[in-house]
């Protein structure tokens, strides 16, 4: 028998390509492609499971945000308020948020990035609807219209997302990392990130677009690494163990580091600008960045028909418009009064107005006209 030659780098590359071809399942165009037929559901059961995880995760995040806001309002109404981190209700909201984020994390292991990332609109619109019943916020016509548009966009996204089933293994991730498409993409991202960081740090330019673009660039690395880590964990549970490969821990470190710096720049944006402006713009930037990352790194739109791509992009546009309508002018409704009302705080006396009308003669004086004010006016007359 002839001795077997040792496998070289070329053989390893061929093995990776063979595994990659097995990992992809392309859906040929047909009657059930991009429609609600029973054949479509049978072919996309694993995708629908990921969509269900993402939607449930975003709804849980919406509930958690409202619980945390409710705990802050409850603490503000106390005569001697405690720190928020000592509130059991606040920690319950944090726990629910962790559960929701875990659902989003797991969803990336079952469905493409281009399908999961736009579903973040469910969290924004869901939070607005829940706040109407939970926090007694006003229900506006724009809320109903925005929620309807977001649901319509989600429907189109789910039905016309890429019909590619892909198993993420360590070899698959390694193959994608050295691909020329991703290398060019990373070089361009590094250049743009360095330029924006220079403008932000050295030139003091803190425009919202600069900050949220930095967040979006980091978000592209986050979704790539999240899908890699989640996909390798899923592959380990269903087929072969992948957690022994160094690439798993490299992607895990990239995921944590990119998340930390994302939060830093996003917090800076929320400090400088109104939340009602930051939330929709960040959602749009994040979704576009995640879609580009999924298309370039995981090649999720490879072989997709033009009509499918067009309807998918139209669904994204509807979800963007829905998020904008729901968040538009939401905080301004609470800032119409030019005075503070303490009537709802226990232990405080009901006051009409702390600050009188600026057009009246008593503007700038105490409401009851104290003795000190009278004495000062008398001294001025004598002078």
- Check if the beta carbon of residue 62 is closer than 8 Å to that of residue 70: no
**Average pLDDT of 68-81?**
81
Which pLDDT score, from 0 to 100, does residue 128 have?
A: 79
Report yes or no on 317 lying in a domain. Answer: no
Buried b (16+ CB within 10 A) or exposed e, 336-362: eeeeeeeeeeeeeeeeeeeebeeeeee
pLDDT surpasses 80 at 177? yes
**pLDDT digit string, tens, across residues 326-360:** 888 765 544 443 334 444 444 444 444 444 444 44
| Short-list 192, 207, 205, 200, CA closest to 289 | 192
| Short-list 69, 83, 194, CA closest to 127 | 69
pLDDT surpasses 90 at 286? yes
Strand blocks (E) in the chain: 24-26, 164-166
| Residue predicted with more confidence, 29 or 273 | 273
**Average pLDDT of 86-93?**
84
For the beta carbon of residue 335, count every other beta carbon within 10 angstroms.
7
**Average pLDDT of 83-107?**
87
| Residue predicted with more confidence, 191 or 85 | 191
The CA–CA distances, whole Å, from 322 to 118, 219, 317 equal 12, 22, 9
The CA–CA distances, whole Å, from 85 to 91, 93, 96 equal 7, 11, 15
- Check if the beta carbon of residue 51 is closer than 8 Å to that of residue 107: yes
Domain count, the chain: 1
| Residue predicted with more confidence, 191 or 34 | 191
Q: What is the DSSP letter of 347?
A: T
What is the maximal distance between C-alpha atoms in the chain?
Answer: 122
Domain that holds residue 235: 168-298
Helices (H), 33-82: 38-43, 45-76
**pLDDT digit string, tens, across residues 243-263:** 999 999 999 999 999 999 998
pLDDT surpasses 50 at 140? yes
Report yes or no on 198 lying in a domain. Answer: yes
Report yes or no on 87 lying in a domain. Answer: no
Which pLDDT score, from 0 to 100, does residue 380 have?
A: 46
Report yes or no on 100 lying in a domain. Answer: no
pLDDT surpasses 80 at 267? yes
**pLDDT digit string, tens, across residues 15-74:** 444 444 444 444 444 333 444 455 556 656 788 888 999 999 999 988 888 888 888 888
| Residue predicted with more confidence, 87 or 163 | 87
Report yes or no on 308 lying in a domain. Answer: no
User: Contacts for 355-360 with beta carbons within 8 Å, 24 or more apart?
Assistant: none
Report yes or no on 97 lying in a domain. Answer: no
- Check if the beta carbon of residue 115 is closer than 8 Å to that of residue 161: yes
Report yes or no on 231 lying in a domain. Answer: yes
Report yes or no on 341 lying in a domain. Answer: no
- Burial level of 111, CB count in 10 A (0-12/13-18/19+)? buried
């Amino acid at each position: 028998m002839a001795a077997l030659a040792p496998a070289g780098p070329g053989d390893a590359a061929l093995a990776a390509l063979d595994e990659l071809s097995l990992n992809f399942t392309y859906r040929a165009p047909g009657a059930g492609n991009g429609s609600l037929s029973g054949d479509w559901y049978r072919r996309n059961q694993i995708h629908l499971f990921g969509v269900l995880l993402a939607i449930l995760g975003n709804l849980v995040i919406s509930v958690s945000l409202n619980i945390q806001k409710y705990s802050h309002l409850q603490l503000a109404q106390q005569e001697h308020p405690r720190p928020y981190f000592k509130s059991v209700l606040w920690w319950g909201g944090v726990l629910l948020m962790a559960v929701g984020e875990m659902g989003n994390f797991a969803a990336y292991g079952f469905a493409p990035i281009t399908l999961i990332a736009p579903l973040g609109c469910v969290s924004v619109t869901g939070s607005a609807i829940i706040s109407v019943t939970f926090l007694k916020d006003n229900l506006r016509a724009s809320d109903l219209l925005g929620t309807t548009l977001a649901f319509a966009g989600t429907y189109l996204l789910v039905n016309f997302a890429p019909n590619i089933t892909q198993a993420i293994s360590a070899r698959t991730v390694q193959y994608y990392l050295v691909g020329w498409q991703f290398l060019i993409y990373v070089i361009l991202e590094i250049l743009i990130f360095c330029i924006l960081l220079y403008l932000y740090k050295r030139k003091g330019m803190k425009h919202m677009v600069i900050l949220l673009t930095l967040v979006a660039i980091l978000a592209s690395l986050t979704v790539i690494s999240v899908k890699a880590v989640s996909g390798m964990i899923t592959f380990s549970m269903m087929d072969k163990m992948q957690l022994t490969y160094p690439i798993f821990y490299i992607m895990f470190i990239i995921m944590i580091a990119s998340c930390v710096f994302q939060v830093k720049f996003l917090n800076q944006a929320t400090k400088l600008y109104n939340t009602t402006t930051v939330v929709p713009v960040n959602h749009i930037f994040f979704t576009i960045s995640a879609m580009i990352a999924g298309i370039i790194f995981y090649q999720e739109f490879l072989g997709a028909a033009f009509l499918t791509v067009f309807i998918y992009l139209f669904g994204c546009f509807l979800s963007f418009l829905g998020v904008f309508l729901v968040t538009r002018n939401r905080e301004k409704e609470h800032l119409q009064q030019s005075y503070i009302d303490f009537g709802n705080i226990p232990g405080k006396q009901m006051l009409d107005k702390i600050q009188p009308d600026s057009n009246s003669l008593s503007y700038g004086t105490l409401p009851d006209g104290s003795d000190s004010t009278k004495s000062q006016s008398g001294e001025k007359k004598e002078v």
